[in-house]
Amino acid sequence: MYRKFVVVALLFAVVLTLGFGTGRPQHPKQDDSNFRERKIQQAIVSQMLSFRRYVRDTLYSVATSEPMDTLHLQRVFLTSRLLFKDFEWAAEYFTADLTKRLNGPPVEEIENADLLDPTLARGVNPVGLQVIEELIYPNYEIVNQQKLRTEIRHLILNVDYLISYFSDHDLDDWRILDAAKLEIFRIISLGITGYDNGLALNSITESARSLASLQNVLVYYGDKKKNSMLFQALEAGIKYLQVHTDFDSFDRAVFITRFANRISTGIAEIEQAMPGNRIRYNRMLRQEVNTLFDEDAFNANAFSPGPEFHLTDEKVVLGEKLFYDVQLSGTGTRSCASCHNPNRAFTDGLARQDDIHGSGQLLKRNTPTLLNSALQSNYFYDMHALTLEDQIRDVIGNTQEMDGSMDHISLYLSGNKAYRKLFNQAFPNSNGTINSDHIANALASYLRHLTKINSRFDEYMRGKDDALSKQELQGFNLFMGKAKCATCHFIPLFNGVTPPKFVQSEVEVLGVPGTLKDSILDADLGYFDVIGIDSYRNAFKIPSVRNIKKTAPYMHNGVYRTLDEVMEFYNNGGGAGLGINIPNQTLPEENLRLTEDEKKDIIAFMESLESQ
C-alpha cells in the first residue's frame, strides 16, 4: 500500500468529529438555521456512536475470538470503515488532527516539526484504521494478535474524544456546506484513488457511502426543484459508484466530469446564496470555487510569509529582471535563469548542475521546475525552506549554486538608476531603500507568477470533452487507480500537497539508486538530515508531474533519463524491487503488473499535463 509521511505538526489537543443516520431527514424551513445545525450535529454524534459500538462489540470481539476467522475479520473491518465514512466529512473538516488518530497514514508522523528548531521534533507512532488494515491484509498472522487488539482499543478511545467534542460544539451552516464541498474534493482526490484503503481496495464502495452521507446533509439546505442539478447528480453519482465497484476498471474521468463536478458546483451555489457572515480562510484552494478544476482555483499567495509579501504586477516586472541578472551571483556569471531555463519548463536538462566556480564538482541534487512552485509548502527536495523567500536566500547564498551576498546585491541594485525606479514602484513604502527582503520578495513574486494550471487535462476537466485522447484518458484512469500514482501525486496539482485543504506536504521513501549501473541506494539522506528522525532516512519531497515531458532527467539525483525508466522503477516496486535493502521504504514493494501498453498510456497522460 502507498504509505507516505505527512510533514505536519500533530497538534494532539482534543479535537473531534461528527456522524449521520441513514434515514432521510424531514426537510426543515429554510430560515431555521438553528434547527438544521442541531439536527446535523445530533446525526453526526449518532453516527459516531454507531461506529464506536460496532468497533467495540463486533470488531474487537472478532479480533479476540479463537480460532481467528480471517475472512470474517476482514469483512467486519470493511464494515467499520464504512461506518467511519458516514462522518468522515465532518471529522476531517472540524477536527482534522484528531481524525488522523482514526484514519491517518500508517507511518510515523512528526510532532513539533518546527524547522526553526528541528531538535524539538519527535516521531509519533501511527494508529487507526489504516494501521489495522496492514495487520489483517492480505492475510492475518497470529503474531499480530496483541497489536491488533491494542489498535482497536486506541480506535475506541479516539472516537470517544470525537463524540465528546461534537456533543459540546455548535456548528454553523456555512461551515457545514464548506465541509460538504471539501468532502467531494476528498472523494475525487483521495477516495477513488485508494489513498486510505490501499490493501483492501474497497475504495469505490467507501466513496459511495461518503456521498450518501452528504446527501442526507444537503437535504437540509437544498430544494429538489430549485437545486435539481445537485440532487440529480447526487443520486446518479451514488448509483454509478455502487454499480462500478471494481477498483482497477473504475472510470474516474467519467465519475468526476459527469457527477462530482456537478455536485460540488451545486453545493457551492447553495453556499454562496446562504446569508450571514463567514470566516475567510487563507487556503491555497479558494473557498469560493465551484469545482476542484476551476481556472482560478488556487491562490499562489497562500504560502507567502504574509499579505505584504503578496505578488503585484510591479513586483513581477522587477522579479523577472532580477531573475535574468548574472550580477546576483558572486562571480557575475550565473543568473537564476542559467539553471531554470523557461524553454525547459524552468529546469536545465542536466542530472545535476555544475558548481558555479567550475571546479568540476556537481551540485547535490537535480534542478526542479519552478512552474507552479508557489503551490506547495516547503522547498528543496529535503523540505528545509518554508517559503519561496527562504528558498531564494538559500540559493543566492549557497557557495556552489550562486555564491552571492544579499548585502553586495543591495549595493549593486541601489547604484543602478533603472533598478531604483523599479524597486520604488514595487515597494512604494520603502523610502527608497533596497534591502534583502525586497530582493527576495521580488524574485518570489515572479515565481508565484509562474502558476500555470492550464493544460489539456485541465481543459478536459472544465468541460472540453475532446481535449484528451482515448489513450490519455486510459492513462489518467490508470494513474488514478491501478498504478496508484495519484496516492502521492495528488490531483489536480499532481504534487505532494495533500488535498482537499492543501496545507501540508508529504515526503516519500522510494529507494532511488545512486546510478543506473548498480543497485546501491543513493547516499543522500534527504529529509532525515533536516529532521533527524530515523524513519525519514532517504525521504524526499514529492514533486509535481505537471510539465514532466520537459523536466527530464528525473528523481532528486537525476538518475533516470526517460519516463520509461521511471515507470519501470515504480512498476517493479522501487528500490526494494531493485534488491536494495531499505526497511523504511514507503513505496509498495510489490510489482504493479502494468503492461507495456499501460505504461505508455500513463506516460501519454502525464505528457498531457504540459502548461499552455
Confidence of residue 31 (pLDDT cuts 50, 70, 90): low
Reduced to 3 states, what is the DSSP secondary structure of residue 490?
strand
Confidence of residue 114 (pLDDT cuts 50, 70, 90): low
Q: Out of 103-117, 232-246, 388-402, pick the least confident.
A: 103-117
For residues 444 and 345, state if they share a domain: yes
Q: Does 469 map to a domain?
A: yes
Reduced to 3 states, what is the DSSP secondary structure of residue 376?
coil
How far apart CA 217 and CA 212 sit, in angstroms, is 9
| pTM beyond cutoff 0.75 | yes
Confidence of residue 120 (pLDDT cuts 50, 70, 90): confident
Q: Does 288 map to a domain?
A: no
pLDDT at residue 24, as a whole number: 42
Q: Which residues contact 13 (CB under 8 A, 6 or more apart)?
A: 97
pLDDT at 29 over 60: no
- DSSP code of 344? G
For residues 566 and 542, state if they share a domain: yes
For residues 19 and 127, state if they share a domain: yes
What is the total count of domains within the chain?
4
pLDDT at 4 over 70: no
pLDDT at residue 8, as a whole number: 37
pLDDT tens digits, 365-391: 999 999 999 999 899 999 999 999 999
For residues 167 and 184, state if they share a domain: no
pLDDT at residue 17, as a whole number: 34
For residues 517 and 380, state if they share a domain: no
Q: What are phi and psi of 37, to 5 degrees?
A: -60, -40
pLDDT at residue 81, as a whole number: 98
How far from 33 is each of 168, 321, 348, 394, CA to CA, in Å? 18, 54, 56, 51
How far apart CA 123 and CA 508 sit, in angstroms, is 16
How far apart CA 225 and CA 231 sit, in angstroms, is 9
| Boundary (domain end) residue, out of 171, 187, 212 | 171
pLDDT tens digits, 423-439: 999 999 999 999 999 99
| Boundary (domain end) residue, out of 123, 140, 171 | 171
pLDDT at residue 116, as a whole number: 62
For residues 468 and 441, state if they share a domain: no
Q: Give the mean pLDDT of 79-92.
A: 98
Confidence of residue 32 (pLDDT cuts 50, 70, 90): confident
**SS3 string of 323-338?**
HCCHHHCCCCCCCHHH
CATH label of the domain that carries residue 335? 1.10.760.10
How far apart CA 254 and CA 448 sit, in angstroms, is 32
Q: Give the mean pLDDT of 326-348.
A: 97
Q: Does 150 map to a domain?
A: yes
Q: Does 119 map to a domain?
A: yes
How far apart CA 253 and CA 243 sit, in angstroms, is 16
Q: Give the mean pLDDT of 521-533.
A: 96
pLDDT at 337 over 60: yes
How far apart CA 328 and CA 395 sit, in angstroms, is 11
How far from 294 is each of 146, 463, 492, 494, 549, CA to CA, in Å? 48, 11, 10, 15, 24
Confidence of residue 361 (pLDDT cuts 50, 70, 90): very high
pLDDT at residue 160, as a whole number: 97
Could you tell me the three cell numbers for 42? 445530533
For residues 311 and 421, state if they share a domain: yes
Q: Give the mean pLDDT of 510-520.
A: 95
Per this entry, what is the length of the chain?
612
pLDDT at residue 281, as a whole number: 87
pLDDT tens digits, 155-213: 999 999 999 999 999 999 999 999 999 999 999 999 999 999 999 999 999 999 999 99
Q: Does 28 map to a domain?
A: yes
Confidence of residue 6 (pLDDT cuts 50, 70, 90): very low
For residues 179 and 62, state if they share a domain: no
For residues 123 and 231, state if they share a domain: no
For residues 409 and 382, state if they share a domain: yes
For residues 416 and 441, state if they share a domain: yes
Neighbours of 20 (CB within 10 A): 26
pLDDT at 544 over 90: yes
Q: Give the mean pLDDT of 539-561.
A: 98
Range of the domain at 572: 456-607
Q: Give the mean pLDDT of 121-148.
A: 93
Q: Does 612 map to a domain?
A: no
For residues 39 and 103, state if they share a domain: yes
pLDDT tens digits, 491-505: 999 999 999 999 989
Q: Give the mean pLDDT of 145-156.
A: 96
499, amino acid identity: P
Q: Does 301 map to a domain?
A: no
| Boundary (domain end) residue, out of 171, 189, 205 | 171
Q: Does 441 map to a domain?
A: yes
Q: What angle do CA 95, 101, 107 make, to 5 degrees?
A: 125
pLDDT at residue 1, as a whole number: 44
Do 263 and 271 contact (CB within 8 A), yes or no?
no
How far from 409 is each of 304, 326, 399, CA to CA, in Å? 22, 11, 15
Confidence of residue 18 (pLDDT cuts 50, 70, 90): very low
pLDDT at residue 7, as a whole number: 42
Average pLDDT over the chain, rounded to an integer? 93
